[in-house]
Amino acid sequence: MERGIIDTIKGVARGQFLAGEPLERHCSFRIGGPADLFFVPAGREDFLASWKVLGAARVQSLVIGNGTNVLFGDAGVRGAVLRLKDGFDHLRISDMDEAKKTVVLEVGAGVPLARLHLFASKKGFLGTEFTFGIPGTVGGAIFCNAGTRLGTMSGIASEIEVAGPDGKARWLGAAGAGFGYRTCRLLPGSAVLGARVGLAIGGRDVATTDVRELKAYRAKCQPLGRPSAGSVFRNPEGDFAGRLIEASGLKGLRLGGAEVSPVHANFIVNRGRATAAQVKRLMEIVRAEVERTQKVRLEPEIHVLGDFLKEEQ
Ligand X SMILES: Cc1cc2nc3c(=O)[nH]c(=O)nc-3n(C[C@H](O)[C@H](O)[C@H](O)COP(=O)(O)OP(=O)(O)OC[C@H]3O[C@@H](n4cnc5c(N)ncnc54)[C@H](O)[C@@H]3O)c2cc1C
Minimum Å distance from CB 218 to ligand X? Answer: 7
Q: Is 25 a catalytic residue?
A: no
Choose which of 33, 41, 65, 79 interacts with ligand X (CB under 6 A).
65
Q: According to CB under 6 A, which residues from 238 to 297 bind ligand X?
A: none
Minimum Å distance from CB 149 to ligand X? Answer: 9
Binding of ligand X by 87 (CB under 6 A)? no
Number of residues that bind ligand X (CB under 6 A): 31
Tell me which amino acid residue 292 is: R
Choose which of 32, 34, 87, 230 interacts with ligand X (CB under 6 A).
230
Binding of ligand X by 192 (CB under 6 A)? yes
Binding of ligand X by 32 (CB under 6 A)? no
Q: Which is nearer to ligand X, 16 or 293 (CB)?
A: 16
Choose which of 64, 71, 80, 195 interacts with ligand X (CB under 6 A).
64
- Pick the catalytic residue from 50, 154, 231, 248: 231
Give all strands of the β-sheet with 61-64 in edge-to-edge order.
15-22, 34-41, 77-83, 61-64
Binding of ligand X by 63 (CB under 6 A)? yes
Q: Is 301 a catalytic residue?
A: yes
Binding of ligand X by 136 (CB under 6 A)? yes
Taking the CB of residue 47, how many other CB atoms lie within 10 A of it?
Answer: 30
Binding of ligand X by 154 (CB under 6 A)? no
Minimum Å distance from CB 277 to ligand X? Answer: 19
Binding of ligand X by 37 (CB under 6 A)? no
Choose which of 61, 137, 235, 248 interacts with ligand X (CB under 6 A).
137
Binding of ligand X by 116 (CB under 6 A)? no
Label each residue of the chain as H, E or C. CCHHHHHHHHHHCCEEEEEEEEHHHHCCCCCCCEEEEEEEECCHHHHHHHHHHHHHCCCCEEEECCCCCEEECCCEEEEEEEECECECCCEEEEEEECCCCEEEEEEECCCEHHHHHHHHHHHCEECCHHHCCCCCEHHHHHHCCCEECCEEHHHHEEEEEEECCCCCEEEEEHHHHCCECCECCCCCCCEEEEEEEEEEECCHHHHHHHHHHHHHHHHHHCCCCCCCCCECECCCCCCCHHHHHHHCCCCCCEECCEEECCCCCCEEEECCCCCHHHHHHHHHHHHHHHHHHHCCCCCECCEEECECCHHHC
Distance CA 101, CA 113 (A): 22
Q: Is 204 a catalytic residue?
A: no
Minimum Å distance from CB 215 to ligand X? Answer: 12
Binding of ligand X by 141 (CB under 6 A)? yes
Binding of ligand X by 60 (CB under 6 A)? no
**Which spans of this chain sit near ligand X (rule: CB under 6 A)?**
28, 62-70, 84, 109, 134-137, 139-141, 143-144, 146-148, 191-192, 224, 228-230, 303
Active site residues: 182, 231, 301
